[in-house]
Amino acid sequence: MPNNSNYKTEKEFLINYDPSEFESPLVTVDLCIFTLIDNDLKVLMVKRSQFPEKGKLALPGGFIDLNSDSTIEETALRKLLKKTGVKSPYIEQVSTIGNKSRDPRGWSVTTLYFALIPHVDVIESNEVGDEVKWLSMEDVAISSMAFDHKELINKARERLANKVSYTDIGFHVLPAKFTLSQLQKAFEILMDHKLEKKSFRRRMMSADLVSELDEVSSERGRPAALYEAKSDKLHFFARSL
Amino acid sequence: MPNNSNYKTEKEFLINYDPSEFESPLVTVDLCIFTLIDNDLKVLMVKRSQFPEKGKLALPGGFIDLNSDSTIEETALRKLLKKTGVKSPYIEQVSTIGNKSRDPRGWSVTTLYFALIPHVDVIESNEVGDEVKWLSMEDVAISSMAFDHKELINKARERLANKVSYTDIGFHVLPAKFTLSQLQKAFEILMDHKLEKKSFRRRMMSADLVSELDEVSSERGRPAALYEAKSDKLHFFARSL
DNA sequence: CGAATAGTGTCTCTCAGACAGTATGAA
DNA sequence: TTCATACTGTCTGAGAGACACTATTCG
């Protein structure tokens, strides 16, 4: 352990400070970007074009750019924007995983985020040349992936299901206008279990989360009223579903 | 961005890999160790003996030891053991904070954990020579601290209060045997609000979290039955208090 | 006895779950 | 009319909140 007591002031210490004095782990940010495509939960994956784990499927992410990023969340948002074109997703830090074995290059730390976006907002710019791919959860289970990314997805998936059951984050996979049936269906898929129609509607209505529009959506059957989210701030329910 | 496509195999790539090729942020772990002393919530602080922020109060924590630590949680547990002598606390990762301004040495990332321990288990070995100090939450509010550590404490405090309201983690600040009144008092302090006696007891009893011992604790008034926690695995309640 | 603390009985209110019933469109 | 989907009415049960009541110790 280095002793720095030979410096008199913090200023003097900082002038002489050498950041490479301590051996540092690799630091990355990984993103689990979820969306709903045709009532199926999908997660965005990229095919790695570089070593290590070249050719394998991996979560979008990468190193913090110490020059352009001023916070770690900015890194996450930058990566998300690059891959999807989406600027303001619902995003949440899930957890930070760090150990000596997860990356063949050595001790590695990654901060995992998950994001929810409406699929209609996605613009696949794909300037990078990395192949991007929306993988369904069934495919996640059977695909081979780079690093510990399958575990990361499972962690994010679990957090997602959990959080949907006591908040209103489920709104974020839908476009601006939606019917209550679509909303319920989205919640059901995100939580991975069926809900009672009456309970669901009562919950949304009495929490005053939506406002009815003067439009209807007609497919088969009785036309459904269209709604929009009333507020974009996170709502917590006192009870889980 | 480096191109590594000149390597044919992953093995060849790894042999030539230079970890200092990317500029890396500083990576640390910080701990918010909470306990109850005389029915007052305290957090463990150390006085920094080294630059930067020499002399200021800071959370215990520090760099990952790439040789001896095999996971980031191990780093946290090692630091906790060193400061308190406690081997198996309740510990939970709160969040990872990373930005370019929190540490004068440069871009810095810290993973924050909070821990709950019973104060009776603490052995202040204090071999390191760092002055350690249990600070009450009122003192936290008015003390000046190193780095962004006051913010970190506030984050951890918030998570703690929240989590106590829908889980049984409050048990972990008490010794092995306790009365229900002591348990309730602990929950109240951790959550920072009063609870109804009947509701609290009903909740604990119907979740089958405690077993009654054949002992009583007598101070003033009617002697109280002593209990112990039935299981050490985390219990979630469906409703918040 | 009264003070202090432990512990219970019981009513109310909120809200999830269940499920039957009604409404409104298209073919 | 039938089918499909939207939407409502209403009962039940779990569990939190409130608060008065009883129980057991000590002085």
At residue A221, the 3 state secondary structure works out as coil
> How far is A159 from A163, CA to CA, in rounded Å?
6
- DSSP secondary structure code for residue A178 in this structure: E
User: Which residues of chain A does B107 touch, with a Cβ-Cβ cutoff of 8 Å?
Assistant: 64, 66
Measuring CA to CA, which residue among A91, A75, A103 is closest to residue A32? A91
Measure, in angstroms, how far nucleotide C10 C1' is from residue B197 CA: 15
- pLDDT band of residue B201 (cuts 50, 70, 90) is very high
- pLDDT band of residue A2 (cuts 50, 70, 90) is very low
Residue B159 buriedness (CB in 10 A; 0-12 / 13-18 / 19+):
middle
In contact, B24 and A20? CB cutoff 8 Å = no
The answer, yes or no, to whether residue A110 has pLDDT greater than 50, is: yes
CATH of B169-229, one of 1.10.10.10, 1.10.1060.10, 3.40.50.10190, 1.10.3720.10: 1.10.10.10
Output helix, strand, coil percentages for chain B, rounded to the nearest 5.
30, 30, 40
Name which of A10-24, A189-203, B37-51 the model is least confident about.
A10-24
Q: B20-164 domain in CATH 3.90.79.10?
A: yes
Q: What is the mean pLDDT of chain A?
A: 92
Place of tokens 């009144």: B181
Report the pLDDT value the prediction gives residue B126, as an integer from 0 to 100. 57
Alpha helices by DSSP H, A108-218 = 137-142, 149-164, 180-191, 197-206
Name which of A217-226, B31-40, B46-55, B189-198 the model is least confident about.
B46-55
For A86, residues 6+ apart whose C-beta sits below 8 A from its C-beta are: A80, A115, A117, A121, A122, A123
> How far is B58 from A19, CA to CA, in rounded Å?
21
Please tell me the total number of residues recorded for chain B in this structure.
241
Question: Smallest Cβ distance to B27: which of A25, A99, A104?
Answer: A25
Per-residue CA distances from B188 to B170, B197, B200 (Å): 9, 11, 10
Place of tokens 């916070």: A71
- DSSP secondary structure code for residue B127 in this structure: -
Name which of A28-42, B55-69, B128-142 the model is least confident about.
B128-142
For A105, residues 6+ apart whose C-beta sits below 8 A from its C-beta are: A26, A52, B14, B17, B19
Residues 145-164 of chain B with CB under 8 A from chain A are none
Distance from CA of A193 to the nearest CA of B (A): 16
In contact, A43 and A33? CB cutoff 8 Å = yes
State what percent of residues in chain B have pLDDT above 70. Answer: 91
Measure, in angstroms, how far nucleotide D11 C1' is from residue A196 CA: 15
Q: Which two three-digit tokens encode residue A199?
A: 């309970």
Strands, E assignment, chain B: 26-36, 41-47, 57-58, 61-63, 90-99, 108-116, 132-136, 177-179, 210-217, 224-229
Interface probe with A: pick from B1, B11, B17, B23, most Cβ of A within 10 Å? B23
Report the pLDDT value the prediction gives residue B2, as an integer from 0 to 100. 47
Beta bridge partners of B63: B28
Do B20-164 and B169-229 fold alike per CATH? no
Residue ranges of domains in chain B: 20-164, 169-229
Decide if B26 touches A, using CB distance below 8 A: yes
- DSSP secondary structure code for residue B120 in this structure: G
The answer, yes or no, to whether residue A207 has pLDDT greater than 90, is: yes
The answer, yes or no, to whether residue B197 has pLDDT greater than 90, is: yes
